[in-house]
Amino acid sequence: MLNLSVDQSFWPALSNCSVNSFRWLPDSSLRLKINFEKTEEQEPDFARLHAKGTGVGALMDMDTAFNLRESDGTTAMAWEADVRIAGPVGSMGQRVLQPIVNQQVQNVLTALEKQVASAT
């Protein structure tokens, strides 16, 4: 679940990720409070974000960039992210964490798509 409260350059997100690998956490879920900051923007084609997240067993630091381009009447987005996770969750390694990261990225993109659709 992802809840967004949007400002021009700063916004928080609450993320709840249920994963069997987190059996040591209450109810096997990882809750992160994430603060996003838009650090660069070149409207309408490019944005760079920085995010810091905290939760039980995890500290997250992320830098990500989005490039947009028109493609056959729609908008195509290419993105990249550098995610660093510390704490017990971070010690689990990329093999365990990659599917979790992919799930959370998809959650963010789905929430963004809904916001864009509702604004048009």
Instruction: Output 54 or 74, whichever has higher pLDDT.
Output: 54
pLDDT one-digit tens code per residue, 82-92: 988 888 877 77
User: Any idea what the Cα angle at residue 112 is, between residues 31 and 10, rounded to 5°?
Assistant: 70
pTM over 0.75: no
Asked whether the beta carbons of 60 and 51 are under 8 A apart, the reply is: yes
* Domains and their CATH numbers in the chain: 2-119 (3.30.530.20)
pLDDT at residue 120, rounded to an integer: 67
What mean pLDDT is predicted for residues 95-100?
A: 75
How confident is residue 37, by pLDDT bands cut at 50, 70 and 90?
very high
Q: Is the pLDDT of residue 54 over 90?
A: yes
